[in-house]
Structure 1
Amino acid sequence: MKTLLLLLLCRMSSSVKYSLTFMSTGFSGVPNMPDFMITTEFGQMQPEYCDSNKIIRSYPGFWEKVNQIDPQILKLYSEGCFEIHPLVYKGVINKLKENNTNEAVHILQGMVGCEWDESTGDVTPFLRRGYDGEDFMELDMKTFTWIVQNPLAAPIKQMWETNPGTKTILRQFYTEICPHWLKTFVSVGPLKETELPSVSLLQKTPSSPVSCHATGFYPNTALMFWRKDGEEIHENVEHGEILHNHDWTFQLSVKLEVSSIPPEDWRRYDCVFQFSGLENNITTILDKNMIRTNLVSPSEFPSGAVIGGCVGLLLLLLCITGLFFWKRKNNGFRPTNTSDSSEKTSDPSQRSETVEQVVP
C-alpha cells in the first residue's frame, strides 16, 4: 500500500516544462558576418533565425500557425531583431571598446528566455551575457538588477541602471511577453509529427567499429543502444550526440567495436532505436551482409570491365609510342602547344531546406 501511494504521489508531482530561449550574438570587426543575429530555441528545436541584415529563416509553417493566434508576436520579434537589439548591442560593444582599443574583434552574447511549468504555472526567466568568450553579467530576476561578473561590465551596469525605463522594460518582457510567447508556441503544437528514422550499419574498414546510424527522426527524444542476446551492453560501445539535419529532423549514431567478436557470434548482437516513452522500436541485427562500406567486395569488383579497360589502354600506349617514333624520324621534335584557351565556368545553386524571407 505504501508503495502504491508513493507511485501515485510521484505521478501527481510530475510536471511538464517548456522552455523558450533566444541566443543572441553581436559582432564587431568580424568580416562577412551580420552585426547581430538571434537563434530561437523552443524546447529542442530551433524554429527561427534572424539577423541585422533583415533576414528571417523560419521552420516551414511556423509563423503561419503563430499568426493565427497572435500576429503581434512576429511584428515585435522582427522589430527587436532588425532595429532594437542591434542598436543595443552596438552601443554596448562601442562602450567596451573604449577600454580595448588594441583589439579589433569583439563578440557580445546573450542567453535570454523563460521556462514554464505547465503543472504549477510557475515561470522562471533568465538572462545571461558573455563578452569575448567570458561571463559578463547576469540579471537578478527578483530585483531586476544587474550582477557584474566581469570588471568591464561595471560601466554597462551603471549606464543601464541610471535609465529609469530599462527596469520597466525588462520586467514587462520577463513577466508578460516571454511567458505569453512561450505559451503561444506550446499551443501551436508539435512542429512535426513523429517520424521514424532510416537505420543503417556503417563501417569504414573491416577493422573499424560498426556504426549504427539513424537519421530522419523527430522529435529528438530518442535512444539508441547495442544489445547482446537481448541485453543492453556498454562495453566497447561509443554513443554519439543527437545532431540536427537540414530538414529539421535529427540523426544519431552508436558504435560497436567488433574486432574481438567471432564471426559466428555477430548475429547475437543487435542495435535498437527507440523513442523515449514509446514502444515503436527499430531493431537492426549485426549482419556483415547489411553493412555499408566504402570498400568494394571481390564479388562486386567489375573484373571484366577492368580487363577490357587495361587492354584498351595498352593498345592506346602502343599507338602513341609508334606515333612518337614516326614524328621523330620524319619531322623531328616540334614544340607542343599546351595552352587551353577554353575556360570552364560553373554556377552551382545551393538548395536550402529552410524558408528564407527577406523583410523590407
Structure 2
Amino acid sequence: MKTMELVFLLIFFPVTLSVKHSLKFFTTASSGVKNVPDFVAVGLVDEVPTGYCDSIRKTPEAKQNWTQKMFEDDPQHLEWYTQKCLLTQYDYKAHIDILKQQLNQSDGVHIFQRMDSCEWDDETGEVNGFVQFGYDGEDFLAFDLKTLTWIAPKPQAVITKHKRDRDRAHNERWNYFLTQYCPELVKRYLELGKSSLLRTELPSVSLLQKTPSSPVSCHATGFYPHRAEMFWRKDGEELHEDVEHGEILPNHDGSFQMSVDLNLSSVTPEDWRRYDCVFHLSGVKDNIVTKLDKAVIRTNWVSPSEFPAGPVIGGVVGLLLLLAVCITGVFIWRRRDNGFRPANSSDSSSSDPSSVKDAALN
C-alpha cells in the first residue's frame, strides 16, 4: 500500500530538484613570507575561479570570458572590485600587526585569512551566507547571520568579537552583502556564464579493486557541476559502516571526479548481489546505479596461477648467472692487486699496469 501511495505522489506531485549556487571570496594577507605577494584575493562561482587580485597587480584580473564581459559592461563593478582589493590589503596588514600585539607575538611568518560566501537556491529562492576569519591556520572569528553578532572560537578573539558586536552598522553591511548584494552577483554571473556554469555532464562510473582482499572502489569521473554525492547501498538502504568517502577532485578538463570505497571483508560472495553504488548529480532526477558484480570490477591484479612463471624463472636464472660471472671477474681483478694476473692476460711481463687499469674502466 505504501508503494502505491508513493507512486501516486510521484505522478501527480512530481519532485522538483533545486540547485544551490554559490559565490565565494578567499582573501589572504601574510607577513614574513618571502617571494609571494603579501595579499591575494580569489573569487569563485560554483567553485569556478572568476577573478583574482594581489598586492603586486593591484587591479582585478578576470579568469573567465564572462567575468571580463561583466567588467566591460559594468565599469562600476570593476571599480568595486578594485577598491575592495586595494583597501582590504591595507586593512588586513594592519590586522596582523594588531593581532601580533594582542597575542604578544614576535616577528616571523603570520597569516590572516577571510572566507565569505553566499548561497542561492534557484528553486526556492532561499539565501544563506557566512563570513569566517582565520589567523595562523586556525579559526579566529565567525559571523552569525541570524543574530548579526560574532562568534569567538578562541579566547584570544573575544576582544575582537566585542569590538565588532558594538559596530552595528558594520554588521548590517555584512547582512546586506550576504543576503542581497552577493546573491544578485551570483544571478548575474550565472546569466553571463550559463553556457558553462549551468551545463550538466554525467560521469562514467567504474568499480575498481587493487587485490581480491582490498575494498571495492566505486569511482565516478567526468561529471559537472561539482554538487554531487555517491554512496553504497545494501538492499536499497544507504550504508554508513565499512564505507569510506573520498573528496570531490577536479579534472584537467574542468569536470570532477570522486570515489567511495566499500570494505567487503565480512561479506560473503553470495551477498554481493545485495549491494549497489549510487551516484546522484544535483539537479538531475535520475541516479546512476551500479550493481556490485565481480565480473565488471576492473583491476591490475594477477593471480599466482595466471602469473607467467616460466619466463620469470628463466629471467631470474639468467640474472643469477650474470651476477656470478660479474662476482668472479671482480674476484680475479682483486687478486690481481695481490700479485695474480687476469685469467685472460698474456705471459708478457712488460704490460703497463696503468693500461690494464684503463682497460678495466673503459
Q: State the match for 1:187 in structure 2.
A: 191
Secondary structure of the corresponding residue to residue 194 of structure 1: coil
Is 1:318–2:324 an aligned residue pair? yes
Choose the corresponding residue for 1:240, options 245, 251, 256: 245
* CA distance 1:278–1:304, shift in 2 (3 Å): same
Q: Distance in 1 between matches of 2:227 and 2:34?
A: 37
Secondary structure of the corresponding residue to residue 200 of structure 2: coil
1:263 corresponds to which letter in structure 2? P
* CA distance 1:327–1:127, shift in 2 (3 Å): closer
Q: Give 1:218 deviation, angstroms.
A: 0.9
* CA distance 1:294–1:192, shift in 2 (3 Å): farther
TM-score in terms of structure 1 length: 0.67
1:199 corresponds to which letter in structure 2? V
Secondary structure of the corresponding residue to residue 98 of structure 1: helix
Gaps of 5+ in 1: 1-5, 338-360
**How large is the RMSD of aligned CA atoms in angstroms?**
4.6
C-alpha contact 2:25 2:117 (8 A) present in aligned 1: yes
Q: Deviations over 1:270-302 (max 9, x none)?
A: 323232453554333323343344643336534
Choose the corresponding residue for 2:77, options 58, 73, 76: 73
Q: Distance in 2 between matches of 1:12 and 1:283?
A: 19
Q: Distance in 2 between matches of 1:125 and 1:298?
A: 57
Q: Distance in 1 between matches of 2:308 and 2:61?
A: 47
Looking at CA atoms only, which structure, 1 or 2, has the larger radius of gyration?
2
1:243 corresponds to which letter in structure 2? I
Q: Give 1:170 deviation, angstroms.
A: 6.8
Is 1:210–2:250 an aligned residue pair? no
Is 1:92–2:92 an aligned residue pair? no
2:24 corresponds to which letter in structure 1? T
Q: Distance in 1 between matches of 2:65 and 2:111?
A: 32
Q: Deviations over 1:61-118 (max 9, x none)?
A: 452454465355345435533x222111102222332333434443323233445566
Q: Give 1:254 deviation, angstroms.
A: 2.2
TM-score in terms of structure 2 length: 0.67
Secondary structure of the corresponding residue to residue 88 of structure 1: helix
Q: State the match for 1:109 in structure 2.
A: 113
Q: State the match for 1:222 in structure 2.
A: 228
Gaps of 5+ in 2: 1-8, 340-352, 358-362
Choose the corresponding residue for 2:264, options 255, 258, 261: 258
* CA distance 1:286–1:138, shift in 2 (3 Å): closer
Q: State the match for 1:52 in structure 2.
A: 55
- Tell me the percent identity: 43
Q: Give 1:21 deviation, angstroms.
A: 2.6
* CA distance 1:156–1:38, shift in 2 (3 Å): farther
Q: Distance in 1 between matches of 2:79 and 2:39?
A: 18
Greater fraction helix: 2
1:38 corresponds to which letter in structure 2? A
Q: Distance in 2 between matches of 1:278 and 1:175?
A: 27
Q: State the structure with bigger RCO (CA 8 A, min sep 6), 1 or 2.
A: 1
* CA distance 1:125–1:195, shift in 2 (3 Å): closer
C-alpha contact 1:130 1:136 (8 A) present in aligned 2: yes
